[in-house]
Amino acid sequence: EPEVTQTPSHQVTQMGQEVILRCVPISNHLYFYWYRQILGQKVEFLVSFYNNEISEKSEIFDDQFSVERPDGSNFTLKIRSTKLEDSAMYFCASSETGSNYGYTFGSGTRLTVV
């Protein structure tokens, strides 16, 4: 069964450093998403991406965050200057048809900011 692949599975970074989280969506999917989940809290929407541009973003997705699809397979989330409160599990998801039939999630990257 096709999978969404995320790397790395765990990243530790110092406060103020830049991090890039990487995702390889399912190959025929057109819609891409980043969500995050702080420990013990709900899964929160960050951003959706379609046709090489951001479709929607949440209040969490401020100027410190950016997304990019640098080639035909990768989808990245960059955090420019990490804060302690950015520590969370970050999930990439993709969908062939958008929200209509749900998403497939990757296994996540656990980001720890120290």
Partner 1 sequence: QKEVEQNSGPLSVPEGAIASLNCTYSDRVSQSFFWYRQYSGKSPELIMSIYSNGDKEDGRFTAQLNKASQYVSLLIRDSQPSDSATYLCAPAHSGGYQKVTFGIGTKLQVIP
Chain contacts with partner 1 (rule: CB under 8 A): 31, 33, 35, 41-45, 48-50, 55-56, 91, 98-108
CB of 98 to partner 1, least distance (A): 4
68, containing H or E segment: strand 65-68
CB of 91 to partner 1, least distance (A): 5
CB 67 within 8 A of CB 52: no
Q: How far apart are the first and last CA of the chain?
A: 36
**Residue 13 or residue 104: which is nearer to partner 1 going by CB?**
104
CB of 95 to partner 1, least distance (A): 9
**Residue 18 or residue 68: which is nearer to partner 1 going by CB?**
68
CA distances from 4 to 13, 73, 92, 103 (A): 24, 11, 8, 10
Kindly state the tokens that stand for 67. Answer: 């997304």
CB of 81 to partner 1, least distance (A): 26
